[in-house]
Structure 1
Amino acid sequence: MELASNFSLLHAKLSKLGFRDWDSVSEGDVMTGNPHTYSLFLQFLYHRFPAATAALIRKHDWFILEHSDENVGAATVRLLAAETGEVHGISGAQFGRCKYASAKVAMCHSLLRLLRSLTPQPSTERHPARVPIASRSPMSACKPAAALPAQPFAAALVDKRRRALNSLQRS
């Protein structure tokens, strides 16, 4: 039951980040710990946070993400141990087996936390306080028309020519 609730949280986080490849993920693969499924999640997270991933690649010369499911899992296990000190109870070789689903979900959560912590946050500027509608001054439904800005020279010439043509006598 714990696996289901942890994966439900992971599902919500991945969906919020923009993961849309749910057609290739089955419930059986998730519950059995299919390495391809969890490698798909890890690769998505690495691609979703390119600046943080690039910083990790520069920091660790051994950290190379290859397209092999086992290599992605092994690199992530080693990375989490080196960066956060978290050990999820599985090795890189064990990631390649259809077991250890709980540990793989925990790895995805940990990787997401790590990548978010390495991503520069937008400035925390204070936004002006919201004013309740009741205390706002009433706005008029129709604003008075402002004087139209002067037409550019070419537009004025076109308008003059149009008036001249419209005033011609036609037979």
Structure 2
Amino acid sequence: MSHSTRACLARVLTATAVVAGAVFAMAQPAMAHVRVIAEATPGQPATLQFRVPSELADATTVRVAVAIPPALSVVSVPPVDGWTEKTVSGAPGQVTTLVWTAQPGRGIKPDDHVSFTVGVGPLPDQRSVSFDTEQTYSNGMIATWNQDQDGDKEPPYPAPVRPKT
């Protein structure tokens, strides 16, 4: 892979991840976007930061679940103050989902955010990597961000994607 391809890939790794809302009682526009932020090169380990905002005016974010694509291996999940982390495994040694749950009295308040860090083993050299994400609010709303982008227009609930150019 050429140096310019790697450099371009590193710039576009800031991926829009996702989290808020397929199960809204009323049709509403997308409320929050999870962002995946990383400086990364295919074939190399990377540290991904899932920046999760809470944009509902009347509820806090109390749970975040991120699906880990099979092409990635999780090597570390540092603790986040005020949150407990659970790793859900599929095949032996393969993490399929990371779930963070706010401890009592904690959570992401409206107009605030928390970053959840994940160390992954070598990034795959593929067209894109998506991180379907689910965000649960204290009022029971669950936002599911898992829609693929088609063309230039962002869907209402976009999945987090690391595009490759």
TM-score range relative to shorter protein: under 0.3
Decide which structure has greater helix share.
1
Structure with the greater relative contact order (CA < 8 A, sep ≥ 6): 1 or 2? 2
- TM-score, length-normalised on structure 2? 0.24
TM norm structure 1: 0.23
Higher strand share: 2
